[in-house]
Amino acid sequence: MGGDRAPEMVIAGIAIAAERHPHGRFLLTGDAARLAPLLAKHPAAAAICTVADAPEAIGSDTKPSAAVRMRRTSMRLAIEAVSAGEAAGVVSAGNSGALMGLAKIVLKTLPGIDRPAMAAVGPSARGDVVMLDLGANVQCESRNLVQFAVMGDMFARTVLGLTAPSIGLLNVGSEELKGNDRVREAADIIRQCHIGPQFQGFVEGHDIAAGTTDVIVTDGFTGNVALKTAEGALKLIGDLLRQVFTSSAAAKLAYVLARPGLERLKEWLDPRRYNGAVLLGLNGVVVKSHGGTDAQGFAHAIDVAMDMVVHRFNERIRDGLTRLAELGPASAGAAESPAPAEPSEAGEPSPRFAAAG
């Protein structure tokens, strides 16, 4: 199973998710002999899991080009289960490059989507914010950014429950003349096609943490740099706080007084609350969990997958792309984004998810 603490972390995460989603079912792909004793320790997880033996595993250092040629890995079997309709989605803490490569090969992209994008939710001064692409596409054309805007709008409605999310296109400045031709052309198309009722134009790097818009669209190179920069900044702040509050007896006393507020800050910035990046634009739900997360974080990644399936995310993406194609970039008509989809009826079959590494 994928992840630094797998398979124990994956099974413990499923046990937590079982409490939140008692009607969910899981297909565990991996070494059956290794999984059996671990499932015995988690009866709640064992009751809702079916194991599919996978004799091969993709390592963290396996190149994507090699991973896609391996036919019996736990990751590939899980993705193939989604393609075959045996699972509603896949959640993996394994090799990111391999997951992206296999998912695109096996599931293919939705009609109207050239490339899938990786999206995730993060904290900001005004609440949670969606950002994409976070690394799936190092180079993008303007049409890719337009497609990302459509998917980001739908993702914010699905995961954050927003009725009219604001969208910003990440740029080196907020003025209309700033940026390269690709970014300016994408902004023009988004405006002309009325993608998202609240397109705010260009936003800058500081707007990510400020929460200026609900959705921030960029290419995968810039998005991944921004993500890693934020992770590094948060680690630096944590390290500095530890140094300050352990530097003297007075500082330790100050920590005791400040502890309630610091605990709230820690909870607000807890990466487990935001675990679960989604590969948008595929014929199936694919969620990437951070490899270093724990059971709570993996359970949150499962929550994200559940939201995507229950609210029929891919169906809404298809609808949005159909309207975009009908309008065309030169159209003056407005494409209204659909209202948030109602969850599936209770009488429908419970979703089944594949967990793999």
**Does 146 reside within a domain?**
no
Residue 320: is its pLDDT beyond 80?
A: no
Please name every residue paired with 73 in a beta bridge, in sequence order, or none if there are none: 56
Per-residue confidence (pLDDT) for residue 145, from 0 to 100: 96
Mean pLDDT of the residues in the chain: 87
Q: Among 74-78, 285-289, 321-325, 336-340, where is mean pLDDT lowest?
A: 336-340
Is 75 within the bounds of a domain?
yes
Per-residue b or e along 319-334, where b marks 16 or more CB atoms closer than 10 Å to that residue's CB:
bbbebbeebeeeeeee
Average pLDDT on 171-186 reads 92
User: Which pLDDT belongs to residue 344?
Assistant: 44
Separation of alpha carbons 89 and 14, rounded Å: 14
Model confidence at 1, in pLDDT bands (50, 70, 90)? low
C-beta of residue 194 within 8 angstroms of C-beta of residue 335: yes
Residue 120: pLDDT band with limits 50, 70, 90: very high
Which of 300, 276, 303, 298 is CA-nearest to residue 9?
298
Is residue 127, in this structure, part of any structural domain at all? no
Average pLDDT of span 71-80: 93
Whether pLDDT at 301 is above 60: yes
- Residues near 234 by beta carbon (within 8 Å), at least 6 away in sequence: 269
Question: 161-170 pLDDT, tens per residue?
Answer: 899 999 999 9
Q: Are the C-beta atoms of 27 and 78 separated by less than 8 Å? A: yes
CB atoms within 10 A of CB 245: 17
pLDDT value of position 338: 45
**In terms of DSSP bridges, do strands 25-30 and 215-217 run parallel, antiparallel, or are they unpaired?**
unpaired
Cα separation, 76 vs 79, whole angstroms: 5
Whether the per-residue pLDDT at 280 is higher than 60: the answer is yes
Q: What are residue 220's phi and psi, to 5 degrees?
A: -65, -30
The number of domains in the chain is 1
Model confidence, pTM: 0.85
pLDDT digits (tens, 9 = 90+) for 187-239: 999 988 877 668 999 999 999 999 999 999 999 999 999 999 998 998 899 99
Q: Is 67 left (phi over 0), alpha (psi -120 to 50) or beta?
A: alpha
Residue 165, in any domain of the structure = no
Over the stretch 9-32, which tens digit does the pLDDT of each residue have? 899 999 999 888 888 899 999 999
The answer to whether the beta carbons of residues 146 and 189 sit under 8 Å apart is yes
pLDDT of residue 214: 96
List of residues 6+ apart from 352 with CB closer than 8 A: 24, 25, 26, 27, 86, 87, 88
- Give per-residue pLDDT as tens, 104-118: 999 999 988 999 999
Whether residue 131 is contained in a domain is answered as no
Residue 346 has pLDDT above 50, yes or no: no
According to DSSP, residue 105 is labeled H
Nearest to 121 by CA among 312, 306, 301, 337: 301
Run of H or E including 257? helix 249-268
**Higher pLDDT among residues 357 and 161, named by residue:** 161
Choose among 97, 98, 91, 167: nearest CA to 135: 97
Q: Residue 302 domain-assigned? A: yes
Residue 152 scores a pLDDT above 90:
yes
Q: What is the pLDDT of residue 328?
A: 61
Question: Does residue 22 lie in a domain region?
Answer: yes
* Domain that includes residue 97, residue range: 1-110+281-357
126 domain-assigned: no
- pLDDT value at position 334? 37
